[in-house]
Structure formats: C-alpha cells, structure tokens
Homo-oligomer: A and B are copies of this chain.
C-alpha cells in the first residue's frame, strides 16, 4: 500500500467522457490498495473562456474578482470527477482550496501556497476516501479564493503530495513522458525513464511543455518523486498499475538515478534575438544598469554573456531576448545610452539557442568540446556560449536549429537505447 497523488490536466478532462476515463485511472490505483488524492485542472478551453470574459468586462481588472471567476473551472471538474468515481463504486469527495484549506499568500492571480492542512486529508485517507481536489487555487488571508497563476495545478499537486507525504505524484498529461529531445525534430528521440529535478529545470523548452517550472522547483525542495505519464493510454493496459515502473518519466533526486548518462537531453528555444553592446565601460554597476531597466520593462532576458575585457577599460556585453521583444529592448537601451556609455549596439533576431543538459557532465571533462566539434563539422557557426554546471547553451543562426539538435542528439549517443 502506498500513497499517491494523481494530477490530470485540461486535455485529460476535456469532456465528461474523458473525465470517465480519468476515473478509471484513479480506480485502478484504488483497487490496487493505494491511498489516492486527485488534483484536477479545468476542462480544456474553460480557463481561456473565463479569462476572456474577465478581460471583456474590463481590460484592467481586480485580481480578486479574476480569481473568483477563473477558479470556477477547476471546481466544476472536481465535482464531475467525484460523481464519475462514485458511479464506479469509489468512495470519492471533491474539495476546493478553501475547504481543505490550501492557504496562500495575498498575491491574487499569482498566489504562492503558504500551507496545506495535510492532516485532515490523511484522516480521510484512513476512512477510505479519495479526495478530488480542485487544482490551481487556495484561499488567501482575506478568506477569498486565490489562484496560483497559469499551470498552477501542477504546483497544487506537488504541494499536496508534499503535505500528505505521498510516495509518488503522478502528473497525467497528453504526452507520455520527457524525451531526450523534441521528437518532431528528431524521430529517434527516446523517452527518459528517469531525469533529475535539476535537469528537468534546465530542460526549459522540452520540460516546460510537460510540467510547470514552479512545480519542479517545489518537487525538488520537498523531494517529491514525480511521474510524468499519459492519461490517453488505456487505464487497464498491462503495466499501467506497476507501482515501481509505470510507463512514463520519473523526475527524482539524482541519487535515485543509478546509471547516470553524461548527457540527458538536447533542448532548444527558437526565436531568440541577440543584442550586443560594444565597448561598454567596464566598471561596477554596468550590468545592473542594463538589466534593471529591461526587467522593469517586463522583458525576459535569457542568455547573458560578458567577456573579460582586454584592456580593462571597456568590454562587450551580449544577451538574448525573445524576438518579439527586440524593438522594445532596443528602445530601452537607446534611452540609457548616456548612462551606460557604450560605443555601438548590434542586434539580430531569429536566432536559436540549443542546449545540452546532463547532470553527469559535472564529472566528465570534454562534454562541451564534443559539442563544439560536432557543430563545427556541420559548418554551424557559434555566436555565443554560456554554461552552467549541468548545461551548455549555444546561440546559433535560426536555419540551423534542426540540424544542430539532431547533430548533438547523435553525438552524445542519445538515439541509442
């Protein structure tokens, strides 16, 4: 007997038929003797509809009222799934954030979970009850519904798993796991059996589509073993109820990953734009002078590359922003020309960032060199490089994106079983 939190996203509960399918997944785990809590999203499309109504009512609207409107989507799913489970003979009951309670801070529309009363949920496990919990929401100190921001249901699930000390948190979604790279680009991409929390966070483009970054951070902090798996498979197919190795990808502490690959996956981010400031004065506070104003303008800066200056007086600073934000970013830079004291600005849009990710590279030399050699062999020019302990990111020209991903995927042996 184990304790499992199961989370189902919007496409998994898109209509009553799909909700019934979700109920079969839940029943399978209950029949296996596990204690189960379920966290649900709104039916696909519902959140968008509700959000669009709040915008129609007023483009700038009160976040408290936004929360009241938008949180209703998950409420509906929780009730419908409880009904579907009851009809299958499962003792189920729906719970909203304010009932559990899931306590949040007062940042309506993007609240953070402060505390979850796990004891009462555990008490109900003891009574054989499956808790069906509306995700994405809690109750603020003002006794009003507060939502966690987009994708918050993943965060709800991980937080509840931590609160009830679950053995596992299963995130059911429309993909069946995390892959070594995007299968649309490299058909030889393989599903990973396991990936560490740190790698999952670095996966960015690959991972973010599967799981909210915030929920991975939370899972890492509380060491919640999180499975990403598909809700679209037959709930009763062989192996679906395998407790130790269900089909999907386990996101876990690196210590659980015995045979660590040097490289785990190849990620990419399209439509990056590069901005280079030439001969910026090399003195304390210059970086803050550039990136402070950009942050205030709401521009998300991704890569930042600053080289050690040759003469000690000035340096070059390169960074990337989403292509759509390039004009806005250039305007901000232009405004600050006098304070920043740079010589010239160069920019280019339509670039791609390709990243090699692997916790194993910490203990293996030459991982970066392998990448650079492989790209050079294909005639791919490298514009900029940044590295972290477990990730190498390379900025290249847009048209080479697919070639670079496939080349790197192959050179690290990821397309071999």
A411 to chain B minimum Cβ distance, whole angstroms, is 51
A2 within 8 A of B: no
Cβ-defined contact, B83 with A57, below 8 A = yes
Cβ-defined contact, B143 with A99, below 8 A = yes
Minimal Cβ-Cβ distance residue in B for A49: B76
Interface residue from B61, B84, B143 paired with A87 (Cβ < 8 Å): B61
Cβ-defined contact, B68 with A54, below 8 A = no
A72 in contact with B61 given A53-B16, A98-B98 (CB within 8 Å): no
Residues of B within 8 A of A65 (CB): 79-80, 82-83, 86, 93-94
A108 to chain B minimum Cβ distance, whole angstroms, is 11
Interface residue from B69, B73, B86, B99 paired with A144 (Cβ < 8 Å): B99
Interface residue from B56, B66, B96 paired with A68 (Cβ < 8 Å): B96
Q: Which of A53, A62, A66, A72 has the most CB of B within 10 A?
A: A72
CA distance A144 to B98 in the complex (A): 10
Cβ-defined contact, A76 with B53, below 8 A = yes
A20 within 8 A of B: yes
Residues of B within 8 A of A345 (CB): none
A57 in contact with B19 given A65-B79, A68-B94 (CB within 8 Å): yes
CA distance A71 to B69 in the complex (A): 12
Interface members, chain A 340-367 (any B CB < 8 Å): none
A69 in contact with B61 given A16-B56, A144-B99 (CB within 8 Å): no
Interface residue from B54, B78, B79, B144 paired with A80 (Cβ < 8 Å): B54
A153 within 8 A of B: no
A64 within 8 A of B: yes
CA distance A72 to B20 in the complex (A): 21
A58 within 8 A of B: yes
Interface size bracket, A side: 35 or more
Residues of B within 8 A of A16 (CB): 53, 56-57
CA distance A94 to B54 in the complex (A): 13
Interface residue from B57, B62, B75, B144 paired with A72 (Cβ < 8 Å): B75
A286 within 8 A of B: no
Cβ-defined contact, A69 with B62, below 8 A = no
* 16 contacts across the A-B interface (CB closer than 8 A): A16-B57, A19-B57, A20-B57, A53-B76, A54-B79, A61-B86, A65-B79, A65-B82, A65-B94, A66-B79, A66-B83, A68-B76, A69-B75, A69-B76, A69-B83, A75-B75
Residues of B within 8 A of A57 (CB): 16, 19-20, 80, 83-84, 87
CA distance A62 to B130 in the complex (A): 15
CA distance A53 to B78 in the complex (A): 12
A303 within 8 A of B: no
Residues of B within 8 A of A71 (CB): 75
A175 within 8 A of B: no
CA distance A87 to B60 in the complex (A): 8
